[in-house]
A and B are shown apart, each in its own frame.
Chain A
């Protein structure tokens, strides 16, 4: 069945370091792919999306490219800030159950000054 696998956390970085969070997927067809971010005590916010192969989603300095050949959608940021500390989820919609989102397990990022 469809699934999403994320790199395990937690990840601790110093401010201005480069960030990569790996995400690979198994899917029927070619669904859209999403990255969500959850700040402490808050709901999930859509960070970026890509709707087809080779698309690059970007927002707030974060980027991810939809790679069909490697079934990956890795999240990157060139220079992280303390305010980026949060949990990041990779997700894809299922073509049943009304587009239910399948989430990765989440990667907790902590950025130290």
Chain B
């Protein structure tokens, strides 16, 4: 099993550009999550999907949209990138809420 995979690993964008971060899991998990990690701020939840067909906002959703494409895939879209969105983005999945989460390797995004 590959676990949780994320693409791309690195990305540089100019302010105003858009992009989609892809995440997939092969563990048949129901719940999936997007976090961002910033120095001094720890990990903060952007959006989550408790089950296929549902998505909900986390603590820092502004400037992002998500799509739960199917049970395996959960994508994060930046419509108009801003320098404040420079961060490392992690996708995670769990069997269901309140259980341990398994993380992907991350996408390192720089917005200039």
Contacts and interface: CB of A to CB of B under 8 A. Distances in A.
B48 A100 contact: yes
A12 interface: no
A52 B26 CA distance: 28
Contacts, number: 61
Contacts of A89: 43
B43 A98 contact: no
A100 B47 CA distance: 10
Contact of A43 (B31, B90, B96): B90
B33 A42 contact: no
Contacts of A36: 103
B104 A97 contact: no
A97 B49 CA distance: 9
B103 A99 contact: no
Q: How large is the interface on A (under 10, 10 to 19, 20 to 34, 35 or more residues)?
A: 20 to 34
Interface string A68-105: 00000000000000000000010001010111110111
A34 interface: yes
Given A43-B90, A44-B90, A100 B45 contact: yes
Interface in A26-83: 31-32, 34, 36, 42-46, 49
A99 B33 CA distance: 10
A46 B102 contact: yes
B58 A100 contact: yes
A95 to B, nearest CB: 7
Contacts of B97: 93, 98-99
Contacts of B99: 32, 93, 99
Given A89-B43, A103-B42, A104-B42, 6 more contacts: A46-B100, A93-B97, A99-B94, A99-B99, A100-B58, A100-B59
What are the 5 A-B residue pairs with the smallest beta carbon separation, nearest first?
A99-B97, A99-B98, A43-B103, A98-B50, A44-B103
Interface of A: 31-32, 34, 36, 42-46, 49, 89, 93, 95, 97-101, 103-106
